[in-house]
Structure 1
Amino acid sequence: MSEDAGQAVERACEGCGSRLRPSAPPRARFCSTACRARHWRRDLRLRKRVAAELDGAGRAECPECGTTWVAGVDRRSNAVYCSRRCVTRAWRARKESFGERSQ
């Protein structure tokens, strides 16, 4: 027999990589419920991103700055601008052009 035969193998959490406690069940994969949920959400986002990238229809572009993102994953599926900064910038440009036209 080898020297390590009597020792328990240290297992790591699939979510955060920390060591699982020795009393964890043999089938345990995560250190806590919160870590399992975090890993599940991260995996779901990744699967949605891959599906959108393969579709090709998931790309959107900000009309203000030209940034591209994956619609429905990075931002809402019906988002027009990439950030609040671009929304404000576009609103100010519209407001300014409206003020010039009305005078």
Structure 2
Amino acid sequence: MSEGVGEVARRFCEGCGRPLSSEAPARARFCSAVCRCRQWRQGQRLRKRVAAELSGAGRAECPECGAIWVAGVDRRSNAVYCSRRCVTRAWRSRK
């Protein structure tokens, strides 16, 4: 008799990598709605980032530390500083 005959291949969640339960439907790709939503949000952020990078219009630079980020994806589209630390540092240097 051949090895592996009758064994069901283990399937894993595309979001977290945990094994799917044996009762999961054949077309199931995620272990839960939480994993499915998390994966969808990550994909949305990635698509947004790629579109901003390709257009070149979304780049911003922090005047305090020089860090570069994609405006509207990593931070607000009208953000001036990259972090609260730089906001505080700039405020202290002005005072």
Query: Which interval holds the TM-score relative to the shorter structure?
Result: over 0.9
Distance 1:18 1:44 in 2: 22
> What TM-score results when the alignment is normalised by the length of structure 1?
0.86
Identity of aligned residues (%): 75
Partner of 1:57: 57
Structure 2 counterpart of 1:49, which letter?
R
The one-character-per-residue Cα deviations of 1:23-43 (angstroms, maximum 9, x if unpaired) are: 000110000111111111111
Distance 1:20 1:2 in 2: 26
* Aligned pairs, number: 95
Show the 5 A alignment for 1:17-32: 17-32=17-32
RMSD: 1.4
Distance 1:53 1:87 in 2: 25
85-94 vs 70-79, greater mean Cα deviation: 85-94
Q: CA deviation at 1:5?
A: 4.0
Distance 2:71 2:61 in 1: 9
Show the 5 A alignment for 1:19-98: 19-95=19-95
Q: Is the radius of gyration larger for structure 1 or structure 2? A: 1
Structure 2: segments with no counterpart, 5+ residues: none
Runs of 4+ in 1 over 4 A off after TM superposition: none
